[in-house]
Amino acid sequence: MRDSHRPAGAPGGSASGPDAPGLDRALVWMRRDLRAHDHAALYHALKNARQVWCAFVFDRDILDPLPRDDRRVAFIRECLLDLDAALRELGERHGTAGVRLIVRHGRAVDEVARLAHELDVAAVFTNRDYEPQAVERDARARGALADIGVALYLSKDQVVFETDEVMTATGTPYNVFTPYKNAWLRKLEDFYVRAYPVARHARHLAPLPASVQGGVPDLHAIGFEDTQVAELKLHGGTTQGRALLADFLERIDRYDEARDFPGIKGPSYLSPHLRFGTLSVRELARLAWDRMRAGSRGAETWLAELIWRDFYHQILHHHPHVVGHAFKRDYDRIKWEHGKVADALFAAWCGGRTGYPLVDAAMLQLNQTGWMHNRLRMVTACFLIKDLGLDWRWGERYFAEKLLDYDLAANNGGWQWAASTGCDAQPYFRIFNPVNQSQKFDPQGKFIRRYLPAFVKLPDRAVHAPWAAKPADLEAAGFVPGRDHPPPIVDHNEARRRTLERYAVVKDKVQAALKPMQVKVFD
């Protein structure tokens, strides 16, 4: 394996990677890449500098607005504990004792510049982040570091292909997924999913200086409360991520068939680990690509999910207006429900009190665990937008507050897909029927009963729409509609009609779509 890594972008977008040989000291600023293996910035720092330290900043610009029991902060802390141990072990294995992760709490730009000065480093290495606020933060960090004579080097790490790496033949970005996926797969070769050989240069990891405090603070020290990621046991750190990956690899060949059924173990559950970089996206893409080429349909489907991730990141890069606005700008003309009634509908949706069992169970899963099954993300989003008539941005913000795996590009892309406002989104007239979705993807009500215990004794046929159940079934189960579960807050058929009318401002043929034979219900 050769040392050069063409995919790792350097400042200015060079494809050869940061090349600053002969540095005496360097700092690696870790953010969405909380691992000590296959790490672009860490590799380049170790390759180019004689002494290297690693640091993470609990950025107050991000943390201060969060609730004090935000489970993502607890997840990050678990990642840092695991990373600290991995760095210590990596150093000892290559002859250096006392290697520790340095953790700070403050404004990231200030803390990184201060730490760079304390350590007297010549350069800071970090991996590129594509979110608008992160891009602006990194620009300020570059300036603050330049003021003290320190260089900032950026590398590609969180995606396989970034920004302009997969473009159309005319040099424009793709706005439709399938041709993007095909171009992505054509471009893919072993080089792009090859691991960075961090261990090769690990002898350059430096012990923590006596004057610098290391170690990971507890949550109270940074103003947060202890919290548990309930039920799903989604804990942070590469060790936990690898355990989940090993389990998923035993199931990946069935992923294409199992992924849509929330009552069974179908998903990978790896999205939080991708979000915080405890696992390398190159490693995951390589595993899926190898299995796909061996004939696995499940691996092919899962690789497509990783490609969607790259796709939404390049959409965010080329079309930053999607943050706060519809990708299809005409859709900003849609008039959403507002006022006290809309507020009450939104509160019912957030709290899992819509009266539709699958929607409510999904929202309770999100509220209780910080994670939601992908099929149910689509169901709940479509319900908010096309049954309740509420602005998709309300749901996008709620998911951003609750999801352990929250990622701006993917979350925005998913919500705009459901709202039909995004690139390559579902057509406006394809509307999920929440009862049909329940019957199709949770036929025995296993998932519903997990989060709605009052449904445990109901027969399967009554679980999906208890308001339509036979009185004898309700009585036998001791289930009282209205007491044990609220009635539906909207009538789906009426809501569908209003949705088609609502979208008429951007679809001049919507009246034709109102004809029963032309309306497609997304079952």
Question: Any idea which residues carry the catalytic annotation?
Answer: 305, 308, 336, 374, 392, 415
Start-to-end CA distance of the chain, whole Å, equals 49
Does residue 123 contact residue 49 with C-beta atoms inside 8 Å? Answer: yes
Does residue 245 contact residue 37 with C-beta atoms inside 8 Å? Answer: no
Give the C-alpha separation, 4 to 200, whole Å: 13
Does residue 87 contact residue 133 with C-beta atoms inside 8 Å? Answer: no
Rounded to 10 deg, the angle between the 357-369 and 340-351 helix axes is 70
Give the C-alpha separation, 126 to 45, whole Å: 9
Could you tell me the CA-to-CA distances from 274 to 137, 170, 250, 379 in Å, in that order? 22, 32, 19, 23
Q: Which residues, other chains included, contact 170 with Cβ-Cβ below 8 Å and sequence gap of 6+? A: none
Give the C-alpha separation, 364 to 159, whole Å: 31
Residue 257: half-sphere exposure toward Cβ, Cα within 13 Å: 5
* 3-class SS of residue 229: coil
Q: Which of 267, 276, 217 is nearest to 241 (CA)?
A: 276
297 residue type, one letter: R
Give the C-alpha separation, 403 to 154, whole Å: 27
483 residue type, one letter: R
Q: Which of 353, 246, 285 is nearest to 7 (CA)?
A: 285
E-strand ranges in 14-84 read 23-30, 49-59
Q: What share of the chain is helix, strand, coil (3-state, %, to 5)?
A: 50, 10, 40
Rounded to 10 deg, the angle between the 374-382 and 408-419 helix axes is 50
